[in-house]
Structure 1
Amino acid sequence: MAYYNSFFLLLLITLLSSNTIQTEARYLLETTLPELPNYQLPKPELPKLAEADHELPSLTKPELPEIPKLEIPELPKPEVPNELPKFPELSKPELPKLPELPKIPELPKLTFPEVPKSP
């Protein structure tokens, strides 16, 4: 039980010291950095374009040629027969017969010998 207590104590000290080291390092960095002057740079401006004296002509809508509609010729409907044609009968293939497995010989019934009773 003492092993677990010492392990958790070591873990607690490690976590606290690592946090302390990080905060101290951050404090040292913040105090040693000099403050940079805040220079105000001029903001870039877009150049003004000269206004045009005349208006652009409106574009006319182009006239597209009319495409003639193609006439689809009507095809006669095919006649569907009511009965399907009969196919010729094929002879059934003959499968080879499996050889007969040998029969397991019957074992004779074993009887227990009778032991004579001793008086």
Structure 2
Amino acid sequence: MAYQHNPCFFLLLLIALSLASNYVIQAEARHLLEITLPELPKPELPHLPEIPILPKPEFPQIPKPELPELPKPEFPTFPKLELPTLPKFKIPSIPKPELPTLPKP
């Protein structure tokens, strides 16, 4: 007969493994905080020779181009269109229904 897997077993196994691995990470972090490293002397770099400063290149000045002034375009004016006025619509009034009065007991 084949063994059938119980999903509840896998869920419990997953929870147990996640709790165990979480404790290990916390423990390792705590050990890293407690470790003191010895101070190492700073290494001294050898003195580098000074680099001579090169003169900045000078470029010839280019004259700025002058743009001719263009006249502003004049557009023709169009006559305003007048729309005809629409007649106002009258909404007919609907009489309100009267509720019957109930006799008081």
TM-score (norm 2): 0.44
Structure with the greater alpha carbon radius of gyration: 1
